[in-house]
Structure 1
Amino acid sequence: MITIKDNIIKLDFHEETLHCDIYADGTKWTWQHNYQPYFKYNGKDVLFSEAKNVSHKRYDTGIGFGLVSHYENFEQVPELCFETYIWIELSTGDVHFEWIPITEPASGMDEVVWPGAMDFMCDSEDWYTLLNWGQGLLIPNGWETTLGKVPFDGRMCTEGSYMPWFSQIKDRNGYIAICEQPEDAGYRAAHESGEAQTSVGMVLYKSLGSMRYRRTLLYHFEKDCDYNTMCKFYRNYTKEQGTFHTLREKAARADVEKLVGSMFVHAGIKTRVQPESRFFDPEAPEKNNHLTPFAVRTKQIRHCYEKLGIKKLYLHLDGWGDPGYDNEHPDYLPACIEAGGWEGMKELCDTIHDCGYVFGTHDQYRDYYFRASTYDESSAIHLEDGSIPSHANWAGGNQTYLCATQAPYYVKRNFLELAAHDIKLDCAYLDVFTCNEPDECFEPHHKMTRKECLEFRSRCFAYLLSQNILSSSEEVADWSVANLVFCHYAPYDFMMRRPEEPKQGIPVPLFNLVYHDCVIIPWMMEKHENEDYMLYALINGGAPYFDRNGAYNGTDGAFGAGSDFTEEEQKKRCEQVASLHEHVAYSELVSHRILDKTGLRQQSTFADGTCVEVDFSKGTYKITVNG
């Protein structure tokens, strides 16, 4: 065993098992006993220990000290040589794990599963795991519901991991593990019903066919902590990295204030489901296509203003282009001719502004439809073998994916055309950019890493802001905070499943504890038989959905309203949420507390002193406003 230590942290490295034990302030953290460090080569597991040449040496620098391990001469992969560096940072006591390729084969490396998942076995509810699946999930040891499949296999920068970290806390001592190259990484988590542990560990993925570059992970240890502590550590970490940008900063670039305190309305114009789409219903053709004229939406807006007296409202408009919702992107223009064309759309836009409301459009620059008039296979994502991916999941039918290197040009082309027809947009929603995984592309003329993909997506948001158009996307993601103003939603994981399904843990607002004052998040307002989602809007200090018509029933949380509120009742509910949002939109969510073991009573406190307490079992809430 090799030991390295400072005054707070001690590392024991076991040469026989290649395991690492960490002692932080007297608390021991050790990898699961059955874990063996490994990587995948051509789909097969290869253990680190299979290297014929393995050596370890201490390495000290001016910033820290640790252990370098050298691995080479693998029988299955003779070209491969890599090192790991585990070291303690002198100034902070943080532990860094680095995987460093020295030489590797041109292809075949798939992933590296290292460092190991922590041994977290204990029959105690005071031991829990934090996952950034959606808004945030806390899984106590012994939780009675099995953890299901994480979206996108737990890849970071997706719905499965809004932020690139996970955390475990035992008896108020914990660690947070941060991946510093999240675009090429993910996590794997498992919890069985009633089991006295949750397993979670990091996975490092190849980039453009090989591991390519050094991967770094930061482990920070805390004593006397909870999930708030870990979120605030990460908030400070993002500030140190220069990636933290508040709504007030963005308000210097575009008019953010007009969206604060607004009610959200999600409505559409034209739907056309192609025969090859999985949503096509040959037995009920009336379900496949429908049309709502712009004039009907104009009338709806006037009704909200004149009859209901709604003061602030945002209309998110689907299906406004002539091809119809999720059809022929990125060649979506002109405005739907059958619905009234450019004139009808302009009348709707002008009416919205006459009422003092805010207008935004749904658009799409990843799904690349074969029916698009300018479709060109050479602009599509190309896989490592030279093929292009394809499917027919959505209404538009057969499609592939547009390489993100091309997206900013299409965004600029289309939005200049909208402006040329005097459609003055306040907001724009670029679909799936913050929900789906980053792409990589092997096409030689626009080869692209996943990191570059995210940079091109962010450039699209930045362009919108440069035109005083507030930027939005499907969900939220850590990488997008610099240029994203709001989103379609950032729900808890359970909200994306049917209301009767059991929760996989206790919903906690991990994302909002880091970024509440950076992004505007609207919340579902349905009231189901056993739960009122309005309470989640309040506890999170978010904006309300006055009317939310999901494009595809039975997916993306669109499972029906669950109750029959009148317009006036819904307005009153939304007014309460919107009023709170107007008060706290620019405030940090300072703390969140779980007030009972079931997680059904919760409390949030904002930086201005506003406190919200909810009881999900009773459907009650209390708001205390300071000032």
Structure 2
Amino acid sequence: MSLYTYKSRSYELSYNPKELTLSVSAPGRVWSWTGDAYIEISGSRISLEGKYISSSERKTGVGIEFKAEYRGFSDKCDLADLALITTVSVNFESEELIFECRLENEPDNAVQRIAWPKPFAFGAAEGEGYTLLSRMQGSIIPAKYEKTLSGGSWDGTIFERDSYMPVYGQVVGSNGYVMIYDTPYDALYNIDHEPYGDTLIRPIWIPEMNTIRYNRRIICVFRNDGSGYVGLMKEYRKYLIEKGIFVSLEEKIARNKNVAYLLGAPVVHTGIAATISPKSHYYHKDEPEKNEWSTPFSQRLSELQALKEKGADKVYLHLDGWGKHGYDNLHPDVFPVNEKAGGAAGMKRLSDGCRELGYRFGIHDQYRDYYYDGDSFDLKNAAMQQDGSYPYCSIWYGGEQTVLCQKLAPDYVRRNYNEFERLGIQIDGSYLDVFSVVYLDRCFDPDHPMTRRESAEYRRLCLDILTSRGIIPSSEETTDCIVPSLALCHHAPYFTNLGNPEHEHFGIPLPLFNLVWHDSIIIPWSSQVKRGDWGMPKNDWGLLHSLLNGDTCYLSITADKAEIEQSKIVLRLHKRVAALEMLSHEFVGGDISRQRSVFADGTEVEVNFKTDEYSIR
């Protein structure tokens, strides 16, 4: 038998593993597989068509499972016994549709990817549906959208800017589904979209190290209640809570009381010193005087004192470039403190001065970029690539660098923060650069191998070490495999205007991430004084994004009274809703320039990006 059916309370499933067809019939909508399923071996895509061997059905007290086996992918002797085992199952209670696959008899370095399950056919008419992407804060691609995406077909990596959260979904009318990667660490999504054409999206599974190795699993949840993207994101939030992954701000404050300071506090981001290496992309060959600069710690303290006098009651200071050669240099061997700026004594005075003002002292730090001229540099400690080479970069100020194997990072964190204690410099918060945005690393060195999952675990451990010392843990963005160990990020805006003011967003930006994680992490937005800042549509006023998202804001260290008073509009709301769930978001009357969010205490925020009007009630 190769045709299987099952009728749940909400839909009817029909599945034929031999013909590779599947359909889910819900009231008003049928979701059906389209396209191909394949394995990629040595760069060649081998379809599952004609590879079917057998299938079977199994029932338990909680669900029903349909298992299929596929073989015959290659005549090569080491691949002759390779088999793909797939299961499609339904949970009786939750009605989740679960797709799982694994390989048997898999040789090393043979399979590059598995493309299974197939994508659902979309087929929505203009104005009748959209696709959800978790690209940074989030976006939706309307049906028949007029733009293309990277030539029409594109792979997005889970746990990068491509996908802060391991989810995607589609909505047609009142029906929708969300795909939740239950095994997200070695995974992509592939999306196909041509201008005014259909949108197809599917999961892709990639090797953990040399092989696929473990079972891959994705959960599909259907909704037909008209709740759209909000309802689908709430399904993912429910999943995180049930799995014990979601950690609220209240829980983080209970573990580290200093996190509470962030509620209603702006972030002041400034620097102390920099030395640009001749090998850096940023080196000024014709203007050498620009390659080194420093500002005394005492000057930064004076500027903060002036902020206090102008009415800034609370400030979280984020200080770059405090180390020997300043910003983005020598990591993880950044000591001693920059002497030209005032050395350890000057840094201690700035730290103490912050708390005297009622402010908090946070620093920039780094445990991934591994600089060649660091005191303890040894290439044997770097993350070895699969071919035995090492990553290389010379873009940043410090010049030549590779990537530190993150197995070593926690011990470097302990060492450096012990040094701060020996120097008597109190660190209230620390930003461990790139940990929550850059792709998860692997290391193939047999002395310290590391998978992507382990990379995330070591990064979280570094942040947890800070928390255990009462230090507010921070990092760059909000890939959600790191968020449980974060209290603060640098930014989590939209996938637009990333270094190019003319860059336009692909799709319609909206706060999918905050619908899930708002009450878990503090996100500052910029800027209150100019439009279209980094990660925002080019004509948008940053203050409105802060308000709509119930988030905090950046404040210039030289802000005048007008900017400070304007920031207080954001900060009053942030103090009120920062630790509350964002219950809903909508485009008012279908107008994307008018948006409304609602928080768990009933607070409603409405903004108009055309007129710059807003209301809070």
**What's the TM-score, normalizing by structure 2?**
0.94
> What residue number does 1:275 align with?
278
> What residue number does 1:9 align with?
11
> What residue number does 1:84 align with?
86
Q: Quick one: structure 1 residues 17 and 274, their matched pair in 2 at CA, closer, same or farther if it must change by over 3 Å?
A: farther
CA distance in 1, matches of 2:17, 2:147: 38
Contact 1:145/1:503, CA 8 A, preserved across alignment: no
> What residue number does 1:521 align with?
523
Aligned partner of 2:554 among 538, 545, 548: 545
Of 212-221 and 125-134, more deviation after overlay is shown by: 125-134
CA distance in 1, matches of 2:203, 2:107: 23
Please tell me whether residue 55 in structure 1 is matched to residue 54 in structure 2.
yes
> What residue number does 2:398 align with?
396
> What residue number does 2:354 align with?
352
CA distance in 2, matches of 1:485, 1:285: 39
CA distance in 2, matches of 1:612, 1:47: 50
CA drift of 1:513 comes to: 0.7
Please tell me whether residue 210 in structure 1 is matched to residue 211 in structure 2.
yes
CA offsets 1:330-383 (integer angstroms, 9 cap, x no match): 101111111110011011111111100011110111111111110111111012
Please tell me whether residue 477 in structure 1 is matched to residue 479 in structure 2.
yes
Contact 1:17/1:36, CA 8 A, preserved across alignment: no
Please tell me whether residue 611 in structure 1 is matched to residue 611 in structure 2.
no
Q: Quick one: structure 1 residues 573 and 189, their matched pair in 2 at CA, closer, same or farther if it must change by over 3 Å?
A: farther
Q: Quick one: structure 1 residues 432 and 242, their matched pair in 2 at CA, closer, same or farther if it must change by over 3 Å?
A: same
CA distance in 2, matches of 1:575, 1:198: 43
> What residue number does 2:542 align with?
533
Identity of aligned residues (%): 38
CA drift of 1:320 comes to: 0.6
- Equivalent AA in structure 2 for residue 519 of structure 1: I
Contact 1:145/1:502, CA 8 A, preserved across alignment: no
Q: Secondary structure at the match of 1:547?
A: coil
Contact 1:64/1:90, CA 8 A, preserved across alignment: yes
> What residue number does 1:582 align with?
575
CA distance in 2, matches of 1:89, 1:492: 35
Counterparts of residues 347-426 of structure 1 (less than 5 Å): 347-426=349-428
CA distance in 1, matches of 2:492, 2:566: 20
CA drift of 1:566 comes to: 6.6
Q: Secondary structure at the match of 2:395?
A: coil
Contact 2:249/2:520, CA 8 A, preserved across alignment: yes
Aligned partner of 2:302 among 296, 299, 312: 299
Q: Quick one: structure 1 residues 16 and 214, their matched pair in 2 at CA, closer, same or farther if it must change by over 3 Å?
A: closer
Aligned partner of 1:593 among 586, 595, 603: 586
Q: Quick one: structure 1 residues 502 and 482, their matched pair in 2 at CA, closer, same or farther if it must change by over 3 Å?
A: closer
> What residue number does 1:454 align with?
456
- Equivalent AA in structure 1 for residue 56 of structure 2: K
> What residue number does 1:222 align with?
223
CA drift of 1:289 comes to: 2.7
> What residue number does 1:41 align with?
41
Aligned partner of 1:257 among 238, 255, 260: 260
Report the number of matched residues.
Answer: 603
Aligned partner of 1:444 among 443, 446, 460: 446
Contact 2:497/2:503, CA 8 A, preserved across alignment: no
Q: Secondary structure at the match of 1:49?
A: coil
CA drift of 1:214 comes to: 0.3
- Equivalent AA in structure 2 for residue 305 of structure 1: K
CA distance in 1, matches of 2:505, 2:126: 19
Contact 2:311/2:561, CA 8 A, preserved across alignment: no
CA distance in 2, matches of 1:299, 1:566: 13
CA distance in 2, matches of 1:506, 1:136: 8
Of 285-294 and 568-577, more deviation after overlay is shown by: 285-294
CA drift of 1:447 comes to: 1.1
Aligned partner of 2:159 among 145, 151, 157: 157
- Equivalent AA in structure 2 for residue 544 of structure 1: C
> What residue number does 2:535 align with?
none
Q: Quick one: structure 1 residues 132 and 41, their matched pair in 2 at CA, closer, same or farther if it must change by over 3 Å?
A: same
CA offsets 1:220-248 (integer angstroms, 9 cap, x no match): 00002211101111111111101111111
CA distance in 2, matches of 1:200, 1:533: 31
Q: Secondary structure at the match of 1:546?
A: coil
Question: What value does the CA root-mean-square deviation take over the aligned residues?
Answer: 2.0
CA drift of 1:123 comes to: 2.3
CA drift of 1:196 comes to: 4.1
CA distance in 2, matches of 1:148, 1:281: 33
> What residue number does 2:534 align with?
none
CA distance in 1, matches of 2:293, 2:66: 64
> What residue number does 1:561 align with?
none
CA offsets 1:143-199 (integer angstroms, 9 cap, x no match): 33333599x952111222111100100002000001111111121224333x14322
Contact 2:370/2:402, CA 8 A, preserved across alignment: yes
Q: Secondary structure at the match of 1:258?
A: helix
CA distance in 1, matches of 2:26, 2:382: 49
CA drift of 1:594 comes to: 0.8
- Equivalent AA in structure 2 for residue 281 of structure 1: H
Contact 2:4/2:66, CA 8 A, preserved across alignment: no
Contact 2:297/2:350, CA 8 A, preserved across alignment: yes
CA distance in 2, matches of 1:185, 1:42: 18
CA distance in 2, matches of 1:80, 1:451: 25
Counterparts of residues 121-270 of structure 1 (less than 5 Å): 121-148=123-150, 153-193=155-195, 195-224=196-225, 225-254=227-256, 255-270=258-273
CA drift of 1:309 comes to: 1.7
Of 574-583 and 529-538, more deviation after overlay is shown by: 529-538
Q: Secondary structure at the match of 1:331?
A: coil
Contact 2:307/2:559, CA 8 A, preserved across alignment: no
Q: Secondary structure at the match of 1:21?
A: strand
CA drift of 1:13 comes to: 2.8
CA distance in 1, matches of 2:143, 2:453: 35
CA distance in 2, matches of 1:527, 1:360: 25
- Equivalent AA in structure 1 for residue 48 of structure 2: F
